[in-house]
Amino acid sequence: MKRFQLQLLGILSLVIILSSCSIKVHSTYDKGVDFSKYKTFCWLNGCEFTYTGPTYLNDSLIREKIRESIVAEMNKKGLMQDDDNPDLLIDFHISMENESSIIYHHGGDNVYQFKSFPDQEVIHYLKGTIVIHMVDKVEGRMVWRSEAIGYMDINPDLSEKNIRKGIAIALKNYPPKKSKE
């Protein structure tokens, strides 16, 4: 019975860990816009890349990785950076929140025995959010927005590979699929 409980605990722990690693993306856009007309982009603030997020991530290497990742993803989608005559203006914001969860472990052999103070483990993690806005330069209004939320370790791996993966996930719904009416 104890072996079964340990296997069950292991499976439940794995499910919790895997579900907490997923990134949820929510995108909204103006359904009346033909996104195929956009061929160029630059940054919202006078085509100068600016960082908005936690100060501990305001590191020149991390900023450059984020900028390069956004440019690379937009290039994959057929848009080129053009600081002189952009169709779209792009802006992004990052937020990080410290969060924690309590996991209760049953320490005894008898699963039916009530234990008033079960063993507990507190797990600390970060809830990270990146919001990307795209503004039509001519009309001066937002046409697309993506919000990607994910959970990560307190000391996240901010390698170039992971930043590129995160930006790719945040931009996965751009351009929006044409709806069949």
pLDDT at 71 over 70: yes
Per-residue pLDDT at 18 exceeds 50? no
Domain 2-170 has CATH 3.30.160: yes
pLDDT at 180: 57
Average pLDDT over residues 61-78: 94
- CA–CA separation, 49 and 83 (whole Å): 11
Dist CA 155 CA 149 (whole Å): 17
Alpha-carbon 111 to chain mean position: 39
**Global pTM value:** 0.75
- The mean of the pLDDT values for the chain is 82
Cα distances (angstroms) measured from residue 21 to each of 15, 24, 87, 113, 145? 10, 10, 35, 33, 22
Contacts of 60 (CB under 8 A, 6+ apart): none
pLDDT at residue 154 in the model: 81
Domain coordinates in residue numbering, the chain: 2-170
Residues 6+ apart with CB under 8 A from 94: 51, 52, 53, 54, 57, 128, 129, 130, 131
pLDDT digits (tens, 9 = 90+) for 32-58: 999 999 999 999 988 888 888 888 778
At residue 23 the predicted structure's pLDDT band, cuts being 50, 70 and 90, is: confident
Nearest to 57 by CA among 93, 22, 30: 93
Written as six digits, the tokens of 177 are: 């699929």
